[in-house]
């Protein structure tokens, strides 16, 4: 099938850089927590306009036949494990793609184990201290890791939590659990974050995370008009099936229900002043050289139809979280 103007189908013998595509799948549109630093609280709808399991599975099959195995970061405005038929979706999509799922880990590991393929599904179990204790989360993480599931954790540098963050961080690391500290986005006591984080707090955030992925946020770097491969090497898929370049660049370019969907074929200028997306910011063209040099973004993969590689893109959803 011919690609529409401005789009193209990547050849299956493309270079490794071209083959490795990342999708931020914002599947969740509901949550059972209500964290004070969460920008989505109050936005949830009782019946999200989400696709059926068959529609999602059909989309991911088509994506695989066009672009090969993808690295999928599952997140969204809430908790993905509350998605209808998620068990079935997970089992099917992980046959062809690798997934790194951001979750609050409020669910019981034993119930989900049959859907969690070791080496194909990894978890980013965010720690939300107002709703789950450090010990409970740690025990769940250790139980999953003991069964071969890669799990890492993260915390938000919310000002009222800052005094305890180092203790929590050390507690995870003592048990070999990778922990990231993410900047807080929002207002607290009249100050606007993440810009208001002190230099010491910024160092704390860097200590726990990938400074490259969050540097645009914590150092307030302007991205407007910089060329970015969002939409080409990475894209966002929303719960209603719409495809967008990234969470900031609200430029829809298709829908998962459309069998003729294609990704963009070239970088485009960033349309916003500041990029706040740690997952897609590495798509900025200015990061290409680094990405190719340190192989943090790519790795040779087999042609479509072959076994997908282990997760390699070490971003906020998948970094260094091997069991």
Q: Report yes or no: 5 and 297 within 8 Å, Cβ to Cβ.
A: no
Q: Report yes or no: 158 and 188 within 8 Å, Cβ to Cβ.
A: yes
Which of 23, 93, 228, 301 lies at the binding interface for ligand SF4 (CB under 6 A)?
Answer: 228
* Residue 128 interacts with ligand SF4 (CB under 6 A): yes or no: yes
Task: Report the alpha-carbon distance of residue 237 to residue 247 in Å, rounded.
Answer: 9
Q: Which contacts of 244-249 are long-range, i.e. CB under 8 A and separated by 24 or more positions?
A: 245/280, 246/24, 246/275, 246/277, 246/280, 246/283, 247/24, 247/26, 247/276, 247/277, 247/280, 248/272, 248/275, 248/276, 248/277, 248/280
Window of 19-27, 81-89, 136-144, 278-286 that interacts with ligand SF4 by CB under 6 A: 278-286
* Residue 283 interacts with ligand SF4 (CB under 6 A): yes or no: yes
* Residue 278 interacts with ligand SF4 (CB under 6 A): yes or no: no
Q: Give, as one character, the DSSP assignment of residue 18.
A: H
* Residue 230 interacts with ligand SF4 (CB under 6 A): yes or no: yes
Window of 58-66, 112-120, 199-207, 272-280 that interacts with ligand SF4 by CB under 6 A: 272-280
* Residue 161 interacts with ligand SF4 (CB under 6 A): yes or no: no
* Residue 26 interacts with ligand SF4 (CB under 6 A): yes or no: no
Nearest-approach distance from CB 158 to ligand SF4, in angstroms: 10
- Name the phi and psi angles at 170, rounded to 5: -65, -35
Q: From the CB of residue 139, how many other CB atoms can be counted at a distance below 10 Å?
A: 13
* Residue 249 interacts with ligand SF4 (CB under 6 A): yes or no: yes
Location of structure tokens 């002043």: 273
Window of 31-39, 137-145, 183-191, 314-322 that interacts with ligand SF4 by CB under 6 A: 31-39
Which of 9, 12, 14, 41 lies at the binding interface for ligand SF4 (CB under 6 A)?
Answer: 41
Using CB under 6 A, list all residues that contact ligand SF4: 31, 33-35, 38, 40-41, 78-79, 104, 128, 223, 228, 230, 245-246, 248-249, 270, 272, 275, 277, 280-281, 283-284
């Amino acid at each position: 099938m011919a690609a529409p103007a401005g789009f193209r189908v990547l050849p299956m013998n493309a270079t490794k850089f071209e083959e490795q595509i990342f999708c931020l799948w914002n599947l969740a549109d509901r949550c059972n927590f209500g964290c004070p630093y969460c920008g989505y609280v109050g936005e949830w709808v009782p019946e999200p306009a989400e696709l059926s399991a068959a529609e999602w599975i059909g989309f991911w099959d088509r994506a695989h036949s066009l672009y090969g195995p993808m690295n999928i970061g599952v997140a969204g405005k809430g908790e993905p494990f509350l998605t209808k038929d998620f068990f079935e979706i997970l089992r099917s999509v992980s046959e062809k793609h690798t997934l790194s799922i951001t979750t609050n880990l409020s669910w019981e590991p034993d119930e989900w184990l049959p859907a969690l393929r070791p080496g194909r599904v990894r978890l980013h179990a965010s720690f939300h201290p107002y709703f789950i204790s450090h010990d409970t989360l740690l025990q769940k993480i250790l139980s999953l890791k003991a069964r071969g599931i890669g799990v890492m954790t993260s915390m938000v540098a919310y000002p009222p939590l800052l005094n305890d963050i180092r203790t929590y961080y050390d507690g995870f690391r003592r048990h070999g659990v990778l922990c990231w500290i993410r900047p807080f986005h929002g207002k607290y006591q009249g100050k606007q974050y993440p810009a208001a984080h002190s230099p010491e707090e910024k160092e704390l955030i860097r200590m726990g995370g990938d400074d490259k992925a969050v540097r645009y946020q914590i150092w307030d770097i302007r991205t407007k008009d910089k060329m970015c491969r969002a939409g080409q090497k990475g894209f966002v898929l929303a719960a209603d099936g719409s495809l967008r370049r990234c969470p900031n660049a609200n430029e829809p370019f298709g829908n998962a229900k459309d069998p003729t969907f294609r990704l963009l074929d070239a970088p485009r200028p960033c349309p916003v002043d500041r990029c706040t997306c740690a997952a897609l910011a590495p798509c900025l063209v200015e990061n290409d050289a680094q990405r190719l040099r340190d192989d943090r973004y790519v790795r040779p993969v087999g042609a479509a139809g072959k076994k997908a590689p282990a997760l390699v893109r070490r971003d906020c959803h998948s970094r260094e979280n091997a069991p």
